[in-house]
């Protein structure tokens, strides 16, 4: 079974630009969550999608958005990038509530 796949692996963007990250979950997993990981802040929850619906949202500004498609693939978008958005963005998929979350390799975003 293929694991969680995130693309691209690395991105360099300029302040003010926008970016779209992609996550393909494990086949059969309908839940996809996104996390921001920075050295000082650990794993911060962004949002979670289940069957194309956003089920939970973390405490991030409206510049951060996401969506999920009918095949469970998910995208997150960050508009008007700021230097502080530089981070590793991880997505995780789960088969059911309260089961193992499988993480992708992450997308490392650098904003210059």
Partner 1 sequence: GENVEQHPSTLSVQEGDSAVIKCTYSDSASNYFPWYKQELGKRPQLIIDIRSNVGEKKDQRIAVTLNKTAKHFSLHITETQPEDSAVYFCAASGSNAGNMLTFGGGTRLMVKP
Per CB under 8 A, residues contacting partner 1 are: 31, 33, 35, 41-43, 45, 48, 50, 55-56, 90, 92, 94, 97-98, 100-106
Return all residues near 62 (Cβ < 8 A) that are at least 6 apart. Answer: none
In the complex with partner 1, which residue's Cβ is closer, 85 or 89?
A: 89
Minimum CB separation of residue 40 from partner 1 in Å reads 9
Residues in Cβ contact with 73 at an 8 Å cutoff, skipping those fewer than 6 apart: 22, 23, 24, 25
CB of 69 to partner 1, least distance (A): 18
Q: Which is nearer to partner 1, 81 or 94 (CB)?
A: 94
| Token representation of residue 68 | 């999920």
CB of 1 vs partner 1, minimal distance in Å = 15
Q: CA-CA distance, 9 to 77, in Å (whole number)?
A: 15
Phi, psi of 5 (to 5 degrees): -115, 130
Of residues 35 and 64, the one with the C-beta less far from partner 1: 35
């Amino acid at each position: 079974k293929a694991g969680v796949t995130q693309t691209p692996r690395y991105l360099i963007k300029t302040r003010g630009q926008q970016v779209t990250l992609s996550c393909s979950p494990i086949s059969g997993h309908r839940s996809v969550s996104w996390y921001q990981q920075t050295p000082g802040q650990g794993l911060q929850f962004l949002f979670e999608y289940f069957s194309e619906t956003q089920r939970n949202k973390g405490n991030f500004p409206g510049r951060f958005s996401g969506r999920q498609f009918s095949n469970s693939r998910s995208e997150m978008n960050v508009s008007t990038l700021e230097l502080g958005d530089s981070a590793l963005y991880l997505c995780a998929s789960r088969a059911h509530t309260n089961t193992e979350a499988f993480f992708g390799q992450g997308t490392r975003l650098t904003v210059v």
